[in-house]
């Protein structure tokens, strides 16, 4: 009888490999390690005790070799201290916290970098909530986070679950005394022994604060501004495009006539065309990077070290915006360039730490356009300049004056109800279950984890005005979010509105297509609170545990948000103009990447992406060294 295990045909091959031949891919080998399902994967893993023993064994081996990595976490205590320490019971708890992410490299603990969890864990040890025996490894305390926020992202309410020593009645005060004012523990409460704040969380609320001038259309002379007009005509969509931009159609013409013309008229004929070239035709492809990751490139947060509390002068508190000026420009902000010498005043006109860099970038762009141009540094103007030579200080002052005038005009903008309604209509498209593979990193359309459910995405009814700039509050409620997802969702909605794009492009982005969506600055993102309805109603009630509820800390949280989060956001934006830099850079990005925002749609970018290498796309997509499987926002 023939040996049934001998593979004579496809049927025999199927029998030889246990009936799994249909699972083998072309070019694969039956002995090759295969992908396992989740259940099988976990069955093959060590249990918790086994993992701890393996980790401890690895650390001992490193110590013996003398290559133990430097860590910012607490060092292991001497043996005699460990032996003398009193044994105290640990309890499984939920720790409700709030923090300002400024100056921190995110939520998740990292031995090499300053993180929220790192500071919290160190404070737990210092306060006696974690024993000295467990101080060298957070895993010994079974630490789990509810939501892992990205670098610079804030949280009014977040939760970590772990085992703590909570016998002291003033344990919360002891922990807070070891923390900077940027991090607060609201409360600690007992939970069930099996509680995991990540698994038990039903949903999460996030808030995103964005200046309303982010919804203004690109300047007509910018690269994107020109392409929007060109494709609207080419695709016979001029009427639709004009209708979608109707409420802001006169914004730029009015700004040019009222505020820019008077500055240009003061310039010499040799300077004026160069200034216009610098403002409107900057080659942005070599600037801050195609991912437009402004918070990484500028790192404005470094101007406010961890622990420093920014403050405003009296009178600069939050107020609600009342009424809307004609053409969207509010009257109280001074913009009358004719009443002063704009070029002479330019040294004090342009705010933001990146101002000088932007001016030098503009001048470099001018020299690229005309390599024969010579810049002269004389300041007294006593020596006549030769042909094709311009005075550099004069050119710099003129560029600064115009940049400041444009920035002042944007800050004076007050969004109309019609424009705000368009923002809400765009956000409504996210509600429900969608595929967000284009809204994170390294996810494909077929990846089931890219499917997420959004319960609501609302614009606050009234904008607020801070430092003469109007802001909108956007609040999203969803089950969970992938890395950068919220920042990309806000980015896509803002781009759709400001570019007068047919909102259908947002629905297309959920399909099996590639749409490169830049993420708006992390500065405006805030985790409001996680929700634990199922745990509170079932397990907590059944076992006599308190509900995890942030409402009992409302007063403390609101004070903290105003002092440590909102003020920091508004102050950093006033210093760095991150949102203006972000959208201006995008408007001048001379590449087909963002032409899907035009009436040409996704077809405008398909051929470009087909010719891009995978490595280039990966570099493009995300410049931050982060774990793509973790984190939210």
266 CB-near residues (< 8 Å, 6+ apart): 341, 342, 343
- Residues 624, 292: Cα–Cα separation, whole Å: 12
- Residues 609, 205: Cα–Cα separation, whole Å: 34
Run of H or E including 384: none
Tokens representing 211 are 């200046």
Nearest to 439 by CA among 380, 402, 379, 484: 484
Q: Which of 119, 150, 291, 587 is catalytic?
A: 150
Under the phi-then-psi rule, with left for phi > 0, alpha for psi from -120 to 50, and beta for the rest, what region is 326? beta
Under the phi-then-psi rule, with left for phi > 0, alpha for psi from -120 to 50, and beta for the rest, what region is 292? left
- Residues 542, 475: Cα–Cα separation, whole Å: 32
- Residues 485, 477: Cα–Cα separation, whole Å: 13
- Residues 519, 538: Cα–Cα separation, whole Å: 38
- Residues 104, 101: Cα–Cα separation, whole Å: 5
Angle at the Cα of 210 from the Cα atoms of 205 and 213, rounded to 5 degrees: 155
Run of H or E including 83: helix 79-84
- Residues 504, 515: Cα–Cα separation, whole Å: 13
Locus of tokens 């939501």: 147
Report CA torsion sign: 305, 309, 315, 319.
positive
Which residue(s) pair with 459 in the sheet? 474
* Helix, strand, coil percentages for the chain (3-state, nearest 5): 45, 15, 40
* Beta-strand runs (E) in 418-491: 432-435, 451-459, 464-466, 469-478
- Residues 450, 442: Cα–Cα separation, whole Å: 10
Nearest to 263 by CA among 195, 319, 356, 343: 343
Task: Tell me, yes or no, if 150 is annotated catalytic.
Answer: yes
Counting beta carbons within 10 angstroms of the beta carbon of residue 362, is it exposed (0 to 12), middle (13 to 18) or buried (19 or more)? buried
User: What CA dihedral angle connects 45, 48, 49 and 54, to 10 degrees?
Assistant: 60
Tokens representing 39 are 């259940």
Which residue(s) pair with 389 in the sheet? 374
495 CB-near residues (< 8 Å, 6+ apart): 501, 517, 518, 586, 594, 597
- Residues 119, 116: Cα–Cα separation, whole Å: 5
206 annotated ligand-binding residue: yes
Nearest to 485 by CA among 522, 529, 523, 511: 522
- Residues 508, 250: Cα–Cα separation, whole Å: 30
Q: Which residues are annotated as a binding site?
A: 206
Which residues participate in catalysis according to the annotation?
Answer: 150
Q: Which residues are annotated as a binding site for substrate?
A: 206
């Amino acid at each position: 009888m023939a040996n049934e295990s001998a593979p004579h045909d496809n049927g025999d091959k199927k029998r030889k490999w246990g009936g799994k031949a249909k699972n083998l891919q072309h070019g694969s080998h039956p002995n090759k390690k295969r992908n396992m399902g989740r259940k099988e994967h976990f069955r093959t893993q060590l249990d918790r005790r086994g993992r701890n023993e393996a980790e401890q064994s690895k650390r001992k081996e490193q110590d013996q070799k003398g290559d133990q990595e430097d860590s910012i976490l607490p060092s292991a205590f001497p043996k005699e201290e460990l032996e003398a320490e009193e044994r105290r019971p640990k309890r499984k708890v939920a720790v409700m916290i709030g923090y300002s992410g400024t100056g921190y490299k995110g939520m998740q603990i990292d031995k090499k970098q300053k993180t929220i969890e790192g500071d919290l864990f160190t404070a737990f040890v210092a306060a006696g909530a974690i024993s000295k025996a467990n101080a060298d490894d957070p895993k010994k305390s079974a630490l789990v986070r509810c939501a892992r926020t990205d670098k610079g992202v804030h949280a009014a309410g977040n939760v970590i679950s772990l085992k703590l020593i909570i016998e002291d009645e003033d344990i919360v005060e002891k922990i807070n005394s070891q923390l900077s004012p940027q991090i607060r523990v609201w409360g600690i409460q007992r939970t069930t022994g099996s509680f995991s704040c990540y698994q038990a969380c039903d949903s999460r609320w996030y808030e995103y604060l964005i200046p309303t001038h982010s919804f203004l259309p690109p300047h007509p002379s910018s690269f994107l501004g020109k392409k929007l007009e060109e494709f609207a005509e080419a695709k016979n969509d001029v009427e639709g495009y004009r209708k979608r931009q109707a409420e802001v159609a006169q914004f730029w013409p009015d700004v040019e006539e009222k505020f820019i013309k008077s500055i240009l008229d003061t310039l010499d004929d040799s300077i004026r065309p160069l200034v216009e070239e610098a403002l409107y035709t900057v080659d942005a492809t070599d600037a801050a990077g195609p991912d437009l990751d402004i918070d990484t490139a500028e790192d404005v947060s470094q101007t406010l070290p961890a622990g420093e509390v920014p403050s405003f002068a009296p009178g600069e508190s939050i107020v609600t915006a009342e009424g809307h000026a004609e053409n969207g420009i509010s009257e109280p902000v001074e913009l009358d360039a004719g009443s002063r010498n704009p070029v002479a005043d330019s040294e004090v006109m342009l705010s933001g730490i990146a101002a000088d860099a932007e001016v030098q970038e503009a001048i470099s762009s001018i020299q690229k356009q005309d390599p024969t141009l010579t810049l002269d540094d004389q300041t007294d103007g006593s020596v006549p300049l030769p042909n094709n030579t311009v005075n550099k200080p004069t050119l710099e002052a003129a560029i600064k004056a115009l940049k400041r005038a444009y920035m002042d005009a944007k800050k004076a903008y007050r969004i109309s109800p019609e424009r705000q309604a368009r923002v809400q209509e765009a956000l409504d498209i996210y509600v429900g279950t969608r595929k967000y593979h284009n809204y994170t990193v390294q996810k494909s359309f077929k990846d089931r984890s890219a499917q997420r459910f959004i319960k609501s995405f609302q614009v606050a009814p009234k904008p607020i005005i801070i430092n003469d700039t109007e802001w909108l509050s956007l609040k999203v409620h969803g089950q969970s979010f992938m890395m950068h997802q919220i920042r990309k969702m806000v980015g896509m909605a803002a781009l759709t509105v400001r570019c007068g794009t047919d909102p259908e492009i947002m629905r297309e982005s959920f399909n099996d297509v590639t749409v490169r969506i830049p993420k708006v600055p992390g500065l405006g993102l805030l985790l409001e609170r996680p929700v634990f309805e199922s745990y509170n109603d079932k397990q907590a009630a059944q076992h006599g545990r308190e509900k995890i509820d942030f409402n009992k800390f409302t007063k403390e949280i609101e004070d903290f948000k105003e002092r440590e989060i909102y003020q920091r956001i508004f102050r950093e934006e006033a210093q760095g103009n991150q949102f203006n830099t972000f959208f201006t850079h995008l408007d001048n990005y001379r590449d087909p990447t963002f032409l899907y925002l035009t009436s040409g749609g996704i077809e405008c970018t398909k051929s470009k992406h087909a010719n891009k290498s995978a490595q280039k796309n990966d570099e493009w997509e995300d410049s931050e060294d982060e774990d793509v499987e973790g984190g939210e926002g």
